[in-house]
Amino acid sequence: MTPRPFAHQGFTLWFTGLSGAGKSTISGIIEKRLREAGAKIEVLDGDVVRENLSKGLGFSKEDRDTNIRRIGFVCELLSRNGVIAMVAAISPYRAVREEVRSRIRNFIEVYVECPLEVVAGRDVKGLYKKAIAGEIPQFTGVSDPYEPPLNPEVVVHSDSENPEESANRVWAKLEELGLISF
């Protein structure tokens, strides 16, 4: 059987949400599907970027904004050159996400919504417990704000959907927007 031809434009798929909401899990499913289809794709995971591109930055608002601007700059370069740039990063502040959106032609924001009590319950590293106890300052969603997007292209509810269902909804939106096609 001949595989169906796959086409895509360059775009940025930006997953935002609290730590533990499922951003990396859902984006990993999308990444696998895109790679299997033959897409040109690069993934910028928040934790990996912090170790490399943003090494030395802390967690002040200014440093977090700098981190997101750096990720956005890389996404802008990739997507305008026909590559799919996929980001899984908390990116807690709405204004800097909107700033990045304004620079990227095809920017698709996915809000991985999950209540604080659910993500805290999933926390295998115990970070939420430490943050709630005051041991970790500036922890997003506890002692530092998370500003949900006002108009994301996709909202998934990781407390009531499984990762495959969420990935299917994101995939459907990409097809609807004409960014990927078979």
DSSP assignment string, 31-69: HHHHHHHT--EEEEEHHHHHHTTTTT--SSHHHHHHHHH
Q: What is the distance between the alpha carbons of residues 145 and 134, in angstroms, rounded to a whole number?
A: 15
Angle at 69 between CA 181 and CA 125, to 5 degrees: 85
Instruction: Return the closest-CA partner of residue 123 out of 109, 147, 139.
Output: 139
Q: Which residues are marked as active site?
A: 91
CA dihedral 87, 90, 95, 100 (to 10 degrees): -10
